[in-house]
Chains A and B, each alone.
Chain A
């Protein structure tokens, strides 16, 4: 019994050893000419093959950097300092960004003016009176043109409003291009407070159209100690470079459209 087990172990281990020796020999003999620069660049990249740069993997991206002089700052997780030393260039660090929908008008919050009956496509709905059937002419049509164009499957239409999954979004900007209302913006990932509305209507009209909308009262601009909020054409806008994330604006906002992310 013991003998047969030992034989089995011996045979398997023996084959493994022989195979290992052969592989090692072959690997040595057929060593591809290594490109030192390529190896060095490859070493600086993240190595997780996430595909965030748009290439099939880190190897492919490293090849593109070396052979096709691709922009070397596409990798989010690269060792920037070493990479710039290897390439002899100044490589800027990539700021992580994310897409954000500037509207909070779900089906419950905004009403419909009429029954829209045409192709369910935002860019067509936009041509209808009032930019679609929702009362707010600035809001999300909710037909998901952005979702259909998202290469990372990061957008879902929930209750008539586009929702972005921050974990999937890579801020490629495809959705910003197709949204007829220009609702989607690329914002810094670390942005703490955002204005979730893009209505330029007067306060009264906003109230009529949607229970959650910027009425342009300007309370936030007054409470902000850092001057990060400005009122532009009846709509609050947060300057993310000045915002410290104190949260006073969100506390004061009467329509609750300044939200913590």
Chain B
């Protein structure tokens, strides 16, 4: 198997089989919060993809050149949070200047990526599994694509849901959680596929 096929398989595994939202239940807050409209869902998914990719690269470097040599791996969580928070902040600053429409569309959810456990989860996961740089990048991009897929699917369903006669008890968030559960069951079908 050549490297390209390997990478493709890794991306598929990280995005579909071990989908970050639907089989590992990370990053549920934006998944439920920003999935009302497809346009904003795509924006959110893209910004999570960007943040995950950059932050896993930076945290990989921090982990390899700072934490492991100094024997400080127990500080991983706190240092990673620091790095991710500042990365999100700088991305926010740049987006606000360069793409104001995306900034307005994302609103309060952009800072929410800071506390998005999907981002921290990917970084910590790749550090714990002591992946190489390439593996880390492939893994993080795959996971982020998985998040994008999940949130876009969810927003599509929720747009259709607007026209449905949902029982009164389930209106609003409850039906969304039910849908999330059903989607998780559907994604369970990918288990063992790769």
- State which of A7, A23, A32 has its C-beta within 8 Å of the C-beta of B97: A32
Once the chains bind, are A30 and B83 in contact (CB under 8 Å)?
Answer: no
- State which of A8, A11, A19 has its C-beta within 8 Å of the C-beta of B86: A19
Interface residue range, chain A: 10 to 19
Once the chains bind, are A22 and B78 in contact (CB under 8 Å)?
Answer: no
Chain A residues 133 to 158 lying within 8 A of chain B, measured CB to CB, are none
Once the chains bind, are A11 and B94 in contact (CB under 8 Å)?
Answer: no
Chain A residues 178 to 226 lying within 8 A of chain B, measured CB to CB, are none
Chain A nearest CB from B46 CB (Å) reads 19
Once the chains bind, are A7 and B72 in contact (CB under 8 Å)?
Answer: yes
Main DSSP-derived SS at the A contact region: helix
Chain A residues whose CB sits within 8 angstroms of the CB of B38 once the complex forms:
none
- CA–CA, A108 and B97, complex, Å: 63
Main DSSP-derived SS at the B contact region: helix
Chain B residues whose CB sits within 8 angstroms of the CB of A4 once the complex forms:
71
Asked if A119 is at the interface (CB within 8 A of a chain B CB), the reply is: no
- CA–CA, A8 and B75, complex, Å: 8
Asked if B23 is at the interface (CB within 8 A of a chain A CB), the reply is: no
Once the chains bind, are A19 and B97 in contact (CB under 8 Å)?
Answer: no
- CA–CA, A7 and B72, complex, Å: 9
- State which of A7, A15, A30, A32 has its C-beta within 8 Å of the C-beta of B82: A15
Asked if B66 is at the interface (CB within 8 A of a chain A CB), the reply is: yes
- State which of A7, A16, A20 has its C-beta within 8 Å of the C-beta of B70: A7
Once the chains bind, are A22 and B72 in contact (CB under 8 Å)?
Answer: no
Once the chains bind, are B79 and A32 in contact (CB under 8 Å)?
Answer: no
- CA–CA, A255 and B139, complex, Å: 75
Chain B nearest CB from A110 CB (Å) reads 28
- CA–CA, A30 and B98, complex, Å: 8
Known: A22-B86, A23-B89, A23-B90. A8 touches B97 (CB 8 A): no
Chain A nearest CB from B60 CB (Å) reads 15
- CA–CA, A117 and B180, complex, Å: 39
Output the nearest chain B residue to A56 by Cβ-Cβ distance. B107
Chain B residues 56 to 70 lying within 8 A of chain A, measured CB to CB, are 62, 66-67, 70
Chain B residues whose CB sits within 8 angstroms of the CB of A19 once the complex forms:
82-83, 86
Once the chains bind, are B90 and A8 in contact (CB under 8 Å)?
Answer: no
Chain A nearest CB from B140 CB (Å) reads 20
Chain B residues 88 to 117 lying within 8 A of chain A, measured CB to CB, are 89-90, 93-94, 96-98, 100, 107
Chain B residues whose CB sits within 8 angstroms of the CB of A30 once the complex forms:
93-94, 96-98
- CA–CA, A11 and B72, complex, Å: 9
Chain A 6-24 against B: per-residue CB contact (8 Å), 1 yes, 0 no?
0110011001100110110
- CA–CA, A11 and B83, complex, Å: 12
Chain A residues whose CB sits within 8 angstroms of the CB of B90 once the complex forms:
22-23, 26
- CA–CA, A56 and B108, complex, Å: 10
Output the nearest chain B residue to A10 by Cβ-Cβ distance. B70
Output the nearest chain A residue to B74 by Cβ-Cβ distance. A8
Chain B residues whose CB sits within 8 angstroms of the CB of A242 once the complex forms:
none
Output the nearest chain A residue to B70 by Cβ-Cβ distance. A7
- State which of B70, B93, B97, B107 has its C-beta within 8 Å of the C-beta of A11: B70
Once the chains bind, are B72 and A8 in contact (CB under 8 Å)?
Answer: yes
Asked if A27 is at the interface (CB within 8 A of a chain B CB), the reply is: yes
Chain B residues whose CB sits within 8 angstroms of the CB of A20 once the complex forms:
86
- A19-B83, A22-B90, A23-B90 provided; 10 other pairs, C-beta below 8 A? A11-B66, A11-B67, A11-B79, A12-B78, A12-B79, A15-B79, A20-B86, A22-B86, A30-B96, A30-B98
Smallest CB-CB A-B distances: 6 pairs: A30-B97, A19-B86, A26-B90, A30-B93, A26-B93, A32-B96
